[in-house]
Structure 1
C-alpha cells in the first residue's frame, strides 16, 4: 500500500502521481525563458560558475546563456552535434540556468529538457519516466521535482492581487459593435421578419461571438510575466474561462429551465455586476450545489451495478491458446509522415501482440510481446500501420479470461497475474470518475435541436443500459 509502489493508475496505466499547483508554478517559473534579461548572451564553463553569477545578482534565472554541460549529459532531442562530437562528452548548449537546474532533478541519463515546462509537459515527462525506468527511480525523481517546484515557487515570489487582473481597453468598443447587431435582430423580429426562435438563436450567436472576442482581446492584453496568466498557462490553477469572468465578461447564462437567456452579462467580477446581472447569475450558482449532491448518489449506484455484472471476470489461466485476435491500426500517413493515431492510447497500449511483426524480413516485435510506449514507437518507426492484438473478446478461457488475452495489469505495469479480479477493477475505474462528470442537460432553445442533448453521467448510464438516448440527434436522410 506504500505510495511509492502505487505510482500508476489502475484505470489508465499512466502515472497518477504528478506534481500539481505550486510545484507546477515553481517549475514553470524555473524553465521559462525571456529576452532582454540580466546576463543574456554570456557563456559559462559549468553550472557552478553560472550559479555563482546568479547568486551575485549578475545573471537572471530566465536569461538565455551558453553553458558547458557536465560529461555524460544526454543532449536534448533534435540537437545537432558539432563535428567530432562523441556520445558522453561534455558539450556547450544555448539554454537558461533555470532549465539546467530543472534537469538536475531528472535521472542523469535522461535527455536534456530544453523547453517551457507546463503541467501537460510535466505529465508527459513523468509518463515517460514510468515507462522507461524502475519504480525506485521514478519515485526519487518525483520527490526531486516536488522539492524543486516548491523551492522555486517560493523564490519566484508569484503573488496575485486584483491589480493583476486587467480588463482589455477595447472591451467597450467591441461590445458597442455587437450591441448594434443585436438591436438590428431585435428590430427585424418586431417587424415580423423573423420568428421568436430565430431571434433567440441569432442573439445567442451574436453574444457568444462577443464573449469570445472580448476573451481573446483579454488574453492578448496579458503580459507573459503576469502572475494570473502564468498560473493559467502553466496549468497550476484555474483556466481562461474563469479569468474571462473576472477580467473579460461573464457572457450568456442559463435560466432555471436550462435555456440560455439571450441577453448576456456584460460586466465582469472586477467591475462588479448590476443588480439584474447578479440576480440572473444566482440560478447557476445554486444549480451547481444541487447537482453535486445528486451526482454523488447516482455515481455510486452506477458503480454498484457495474461491479455486480462484472465480479466474475477473473484471470483464470496464463494462456488460453486461442488463434483468434483483433486487427488494430496504430498509425497513418499525414503529410508524408507516419503518425501515431489517437486511439492507440486506449485500443493498443497494454495489450499483447498476437503474432510476430515482420518488416522486410526483420522481426520488429515477436508474438506475446507486451505493447508499451517503447514497443509501439519502435513499430511506428519501422513503418508498421496495423498490428494484431489479443483481446478478452476473443479469449477462449472457459471462465473469466486468460492473462495473455487481458495483457498488462495497468496498476503494476507488467503482465497481469492469475487470480486478479480484473472485472471489479474495470467497474471501479469507470465508476470512480463518475462524480466529476456533469449532470446537466443543456438546452439551447434552438430551432433544429431535437430537445435536450444529454451529457456527462446520464449519458454514461444510457450507454451502459443500451437504451435509446433521450436527445436523439436529427440526421437528414441521404438524397
Structure 2
C-alpha cells in the first residue's frame, strides 16, 4: 500500500469503496416492467448478501429462497442525478399498470397493523413512546384515551394516527369487515385521526388501489408517502414481534363432532354421485345442452364433488374463531385464504389434470389398486383427507400427479409469456409522447391525439382517473360544517373550475357536486383540490408510453394460469 501511495501522480484515478448513502441501481431478472430496476441508497452491512426491505419485493417479484440480483453503481455525477430523479423506489410506489400502489404492506406488516389497531388493543405510555421513537415521530403526543388498571393508556389506533397527515380525511371498508360480514365503510379517518375500523390490506396493502396508502402517496407526494410507509411498517413489525403471533398444529384441531360432520357430508355427496351414475345407466339423467350423456354425467359429478370440498372447508372454517391465527391472516389479506384453511382442516378435494378428473393410467383405471371402470370417486382422484391428518398412499400419489402438472405448466407458461412480451415490446418500443400532447411514432404519424384520450399519466393517477370525485366529496363531508350551498352556487363554481377538464370528467364532477350536500366552502375546497390533482396527473412529454404499455400487458402474462 505504502509503495502505491508514494507512486501516486497527478492524473491517477483513485477508486473508492461503496459507502453509505451512495445511489445504486438494483435489478432482478427477468426485468418484466420498469419497476424491475430501481435506485436504492446504500447501507453497507457485513456479510456477502444483498439485503432489502420486504416491501420492495413485489415490484421485483423477489423472495428470499435463494434469488440472485444485480447491483449497478452509476459512476458519473450525471448518471447519479438521473437515477435519483427517475428511478428512486419512492417514485415507483404507484404502478403505471393499474394506478395503485405496488409497494406497500405485506404478510406480517398487515397482520401486525390489524392486531395493533383492533378495538381492544391498549398500550402503556412508556411503550407508546418507544414505538413512536422507532417510527421517527417528532411531534407532541396526544392525550391517552383509554383507561388501564395502572392509569391512563393509549390505544393502538392512536399509535397509527401519529403518522397520518393532520388534514387527512378518508372512509373505506377494511378486508376484515368484508370477511366477517361487518359494517361497510368501517374505517373512518378524520383530521388525521383513525376514529374507527382496523387497518389491514385494504388500507396499507401492496397492490391495493384506493387505499389509505394510495391516497397519501397521491395527495401528499412520494416523499411523505415513503415516510408514512416506513414508519407504519417498522411499528407494525415491532408490535407483532412483541405480541407473539404464532401459528401451529394445535390451531387446526377440530372437535370430534365437527370431524364427523365433515366425514358424513362427504359420504352424502358420494351417495349423490352413485345416484347420478345409476340414473345415467338407466338413461334417466337430465342432459345438458351441447354435452353427450357421458360428458353431462362427468360435469354433474365434478360439480357435486367440488361442492363437497367447499362444504367441508366451510364447516372447518366456521369452527375456528376470530382469534385463530389462520383466520386472522386469511381475513386481513396477509396470507392464504379460506380455501387453504379448508384444505388443512377439512378435505383436499378433487385432484385434476388439464381440468379433468384422473381417469387415465392403466387400462380403464387410474391405478392398479382399483377395479376396472370403478365408479367410486376415490378411484378418480378425490382426496377425502386433509393436510392435518395426512393423506393415504394412493391419495398422496394422486395429489402428486396434480402437483406435477402445475410445475410443468409454470415452465411452459414462462416461455410463452416471455415470447409474447418480446413481440409486444418490439411492436411498440418506438412510440412516445410528444410535446404537443399527441402520441406518435418516429415518422410523426399520430397514434393518439391525446395520450389515453385524457392525457392522464396512470402512474400519477387514481386507478386511471385523474382524481376520484366521489372520494374527494366523501372525505370533505366528514369535516364539512357549513350549511348546504344555495341552488345556483354549485353551478357558478363548477363553471369556474372545470374549464380545462374533458367532457367525461366534467360530467362526473358535475353529477358528484350537485348530488353532494356540501357547503359553498366545501364545494370550493373539493373543486380546488380536483383542479390541482388534475394538473398534477398529466403525462409528461417524452415519456416512452409504448414501452410502458407493452410492459403492462406482458408482465401480468407470467401470472396467468
Matches of 2:298 and 2:109 in 1, distance apart?
A: 45
Whether contact under 8 Å (2:117, 2:157) holds in the other structure is yes
Match of 1:140 among 201, 224, 227: 227
User: How do residues 31-46 of structure 1 correspond to structure 2 at under 5 angstroms?
Assistant: 31-33=117-119
Are 1:419 and 2:542 an aligned pair? yes
Match of 1:200 among 298, 301, 318: 298
Matches of 2:451 and 2:89 in 1, distance apart?
A: 36
Matches of 1:431 and 1:370 in 2, distance apart?
A: 30
Matches of 1:346 and 1:158 in 2, distance apart?
A: 34
Alignment correspondent of 2:159: 101
User: How do residues 183-222 of structure 1 correspond to structure 2 at under 5 angstroms?
Assistant: 183-194=274-285, 195-222=293-320
Once the two structures are TM-superposed, the CA of residue 206 in structure 1 deviates from its matched residue by: 1.5
Matches of 2:333 and 2:156 in 1, distance apart?
A: 19
Alignment correspondent of 2:197: 115
Matches of 2:141 and 2:128 in 1, distance apart?
A: 24
Once the two structures are TM-superposed, the CA of residue 362 in structure 1 deviates from its matched residue by: 3.7
Relative distance call for 1:294 and 1:254 in structure 2 (3 A) is: same
- CA deviation digits over 1:211-256, x for unaligned, max 9? 111222122111111111111112111222222211111112213x
Once the two structures are TM-superposed, the CA of residue 51 in structure 1 deviates from its matched residue by: 3.1
Once the two structures are TM-superposed, the CA of residue 171 in structure 1 deviates from its matched residue by: 0.9
Alignment correspondent of 2:25: none
Once the two structures are TM-superposed, the CA of residue 359 in structure 1 deviates from its matched residue by: 6.2
Q: Which has the larger radius of gyration?
A: 2
Name the SS for the 1:171 alignment partner. Answer: helix
Greater fraction of residues in helix: 2
User: How do residues 294-373 of structure 1 correspond to structure 2 at under 5 angstroms?
Assistant: 294-319=412-437, 348-349=465-466, 360-363=491-494, 365-369=497-501
Whether contact under 8 Å (2:346, 2:386) holds in the other structure is yes
Equivalenced residues, count: 349
Whether contact under 8 Å (1:105, 1:148) holds in the other structure is no
Matches of 2:229 and 2:158 in 1, distance apart?
A: 17
Are 1:27 and 2:113 an aligned pair? yes
Relative distance call for 1:231 and 1:91 in structure 2 (3 A) is: closer
| Structure 1 residue ranges without an equivalent (≥5) | 40-46, 56-69, 74-89, 329-343, 352-357, 386-406, 439-479
Alignment correspondent of 2:357: 260
Whether contact under 8 Å (2:100, 2:463) holds in the other structure is no
Whether contact under 8 Å (1:166, 1:247) holds in the other structure is yes
Are 1:269 and 2:387 an aligned pair? yes
Name the SS for the 1:417 alignment partner. Answer: coil
Relative distance call for 1:188 and 1:288 in structure 2 (3 A) is: same
TM superposition score normalised by structure 1: 0.63
Larger CA deviation: 259-268 vs 123-132: 259-268
Match of 1:180 among 271, 282, 291: 271
Are 1:382 and 2:473 an aligned pair? no
Name the SS for the 1:382 alignment partner. Answer: helix
Are 1:127 and 2:214 an aligned pair? yes
Matches of 2:451 and 2:128 in 1, distance apart?
A: 58
- CA deviation digits over 1:135-185, x for unaligned, max 9? 221111011111111111101211111111234432123223222222222
Name the SS for the 1:360 alignment partner. Answer: helix
Relative distance call for 1:294 and 1:266 in structure 2 (3 A) is: same
Whether contact under 8 Å (1:178, 1:206) holds in the other structure is yes
Matches of 1:176 and 1:186 in 2, distance apart?
A: 15
Alignment correspondent of 1:399: none
Alignment correspondent of 2:187: none
TM superposition score normalised by structure 2: 0.55
- CA deviation digits over 1:68-104, x for unaligned, max 9? xx9998xxxxxxxxxxxxxxxx997999811111212
- CA deviation digits over 1:384-406, x for unaligned, max 9? 89xxxxxxxxxxxxxxxxxxxxx
Whether contact under 8 Å (1:207, 1:251) holds in the other structure is yes
Alignment correspondent of 2:245: 158
Relative distance call for 1:266 and 1:5 in structure 2 (3 A) is: same
Structure having greater relative contact order (Cα 8 Å, sep ≥ 6): 1
Alignment correspondent of 1:453: none
Alignment correspondent of 1:236: 334
Name the SS for the 2:558 alignment partner. Answer: helix
Once the two structures are TM-superposed, the CA of residue 408 in structure 1 deviates from its matched residue by: 8.2
Alignment correspondent of 2:527: none
Matches of 1:315 and 1:435 in 2, distance apart?
A: 27
Are 1:51 and 2:117 an aligned pair? no
